[in-house]
Amino acid sequence: MHYARRVTDQAVHSNVGHGVHGVEGAFTGRERELAALRADVERAGLETLAGRPAPRARVLLVAGAPGSGRTALAEAFAHRVAADHPGGVHRARLTDPGGTPVPVERTARDLLDALGVQAPPGGHRDELTEALRHALSGRGALLLLDDVAAAEQLTELLPDDRDCLVLATSEGPLSGVPDVRPCTLGGLDPADAVRLLGSRAGSDLRITVDPRAADRLAAACEHHPASLVLAGGWLAAHPHTSVLDAARRLADAPGATPLERAFRMVHASLPASRTRLLRLLCLAPDGYVDAPLAAALAGWDVPATRAALDAFTRLGLLRPLPGEAWRVPPCLDALLHREVEEHERPAEVQLARARLLERAVRRLHGCWAVTEPAGSAPRRELAQQPRPLRFETRREAAAWLDSRLPALLAGARAVVADGELDTLARRFIAALARALNAHRPPERTAPEQYRLHELVLDVAERRALHRERAAALLNLGDLDAWTGRLPAAVERYRAALAAVRTDGGGDVAAAVRAMDSLGGTYAEQSDWPRAADWYGRALALCLNHGDQEGAARLHGRLGAVHLYAGQWGEALRAWRSAAAAHRRLRNPHAHARALSEVARVQEYAGHAHDCLRTCHQALERARDAGDVRLEAGLSLRLADACARVGDRAGATAHRAAAERLLAGTALPPAGSVALGQPRSEPRPGPADGGGPGSADGKAEAGEGSGSEPRTGAVEPGAGDAGGSADGAARKAEEPGGPGPAAHPTQPGT
């Protein structure tokens, strides 16, 4: 009977038990319907009767009005047949609050996440549904798709595996789904209805002494489980009231349906203060609340709010969840929204939403702060928070984030769609992104981060915040590039550069990052002229604004690109410029690596003696830097250079020195990391749009993957590294050029 339940970006659950009839407890009745569903599973389909193999999974449909218990029946049936489906039971809701269908791509992504399959961030509809069908192939899974609003939602998600079973719930028939087996629900059997009423009333005595009144009350509820739950909760709260009186009150209550009349009867029995808290609960994203968030909605203290939530649970107005959390029964969502419209002024509703978001921001800040080192400023600030808002351990914070993530994502989407609290929305999204980064590895958070960047982009475009728009586009471009959508990444980077120019061009760091990223994306496509062009533009901008570190990095980028293009002269000039820049910056490690690249270009150009001299210089700088692995790699390159000029004794001596260096360190040889193209994990600007040069200045130039763009070219000289110790040492010294990044970009604050 969970119908209008708020659905979030991740309203998907796998093998998770759900309460039935809107409350926790045993399932009551519906044996006839359960038997019919079982028979439909075993009955041959139309394709089989026609002598053809079934092309897709069997589809069962449980149809019924709100309050009829369709979701409870589907859950009970899924529990009974779960053993027949080794792939597990995976659930998703397909209708948003207000009856808006959930986009198919969002449902597909969430089901993929439930299946443990990494979906590409920002993937398109066809790509995601195809990935879902592939993931379900051969699993024999059961999909429980709740609140299907249209047949198209269902048909695009159907697995091609005949061993899978799809169990859908809907308010009406789904005529567009081929060979669907409908099971239409009415009320419970009278005896089962009275039994459910008695279990909710807390005592069977009143039911036993006046069975006719109990039958009358059940009939007034039209035997619908949701109405019976509310009526039973009202009886439990009024132990001295007879069942007959309850039946009369229910009959006299206003409302067009038994569910609405039962709700009105319970609602009228509440104190005025709790009535207001109850109706404000429908503002909670996904209908998911805990005591601190509910307290923020009404402006109460946490203990009083927790007592009220417990009372609502006993009345059947809330459904308890693990971890001291509650959910508004979806069938009551529309009724509570109507109460808000009738009794709350718009300004009060907006204020309640703002309090809720502000409390969520504080909780997310604490969720991040607990991961900081002990004694740090964030930890000291966290220790001063009240206990209900404080996390004691990292594990506690991670568990809280995991359980609330669907509701938090729904809250981000809702506040951006509302458009009235954009400043608070940006703070909320930034806090959520930072908490995700603190508790999850980058590849696990990439889909959520993509959604958050898109939300930031929506706010920035609506408010004409060009700097934040540029930062969001850069971060989205990084994720597109990481997933291999290079043309889309190019468009994102160009749009980011246009946003910087629209803002007057003052955000130099963002402009450099956009150009740098464009160069890296073209390099990944082996389009060396365009890559060199964009790197050159970024270099000119850095030089004009005195950014020596950026200029040194971009000289290296240009050197790598020219090397791939076979332009030895240009590559030599670029790497020499990079070496000179790092010398001025007093960075011996980077200086040594740049000199090693100069030596490599000289080697490829056939200048053996020049290569030998440069290798000696690079080796001295590596010793100054104390980089043993780089020193070993340079010793091997120097050995090769000696061999090329006929100095066999020198080659032997340098090779022996390299072997001694490698044997004397417990660290493995470093991977291939170019001065111009480091392979560190990219870290773009924050999700609130604060990228390079943004208003809050929370990210600096050169830290995002835009300043370290991904390229996929083959490393020059990699072939002579081989799998030997010599090759490993060369890898420590020979970064080559551009290389792919290891992880997607992640927003941070």
Q: What are phi and psi of 144, to 5 degrees?
A: -105, 105
Q: Do 12-184 and 441-733 share a fold?
A: no
Joined tokens for residue 384: 């001063």
* C-alpha triplet 588, 564, 715: angle, nearest 5°: 65
Give domain 12-184's CATH number out of 3.20.20.70, 3.40.50.720, 3.40.640.10, 3.40.50.300.
3.40.50.300
Q: Is the dihedral of CA 514, 517, 523, 525 positive or negative?
A: negative
**If pLDDT is split at 50, 70 and 90, which confidence band does 173 have?**
confident
Beta strands 58-63 and 165-170 are parallel
Looking at residue 444, its pLDDT comes to: 86
Give the Cα separation of 708 and 738 in Å (integer): 9
Three-state SS annotation for 464-515: CCHHHHHHHHHHHHHHHHHCCCHHHHHHHHHHHHHHHHHCCCCCHHHHHHHH
Q: Tell me the CATH number for domain 272-410.
A: 1.10.10
For the chain, how big is the Rg over CA atoms in Å? 32
Q: pLDDT tens for residues 520-561? A: 999 999 999 999 999 999 999 999 999 999 999 999 999 999
CB atoms within 10 A of CB 647: 15
More confidently predicted of 225 and 737: 225
Pair 591, 582: CB distance under 8 Å: yes
Give the Cα separation of 662 and 551 in Å (integer): 33
- Lowest mean per-residue pLDDT among 4-18, 408-422, 600-614: 4-18
Highest mean pLDDT pick, 56-65, 285-294, 554-563, 732-741 = 554-563
pLDDT tops 50 at residue 480: yes
CA distances from 745 to 119, 487, 670 (A): 15, 17, 23
pLDDT tops 90 at residue 430: yes
Q: Tell me the CATH number for domain 441-733.
A: 1.25.40.10
Closest CA to 275 of 342, 326, 324: 342
- At 59 the three-state DSSP class reads strand
**If pLDDT is split at 50, 70 and 90, which confidence band does 47 have?**
low
Domain ranges (residues) in the chain: 12-184, 190-268, 272-410, 441-733
**If pLDDT is split at 50, 70 and 90, which confidence band does 274 have?**
very high
CB atoms within 10 A of CB 6: 24
Enumerate helices (H) and strands (E) in the chain, giving the number of each.
32, 9
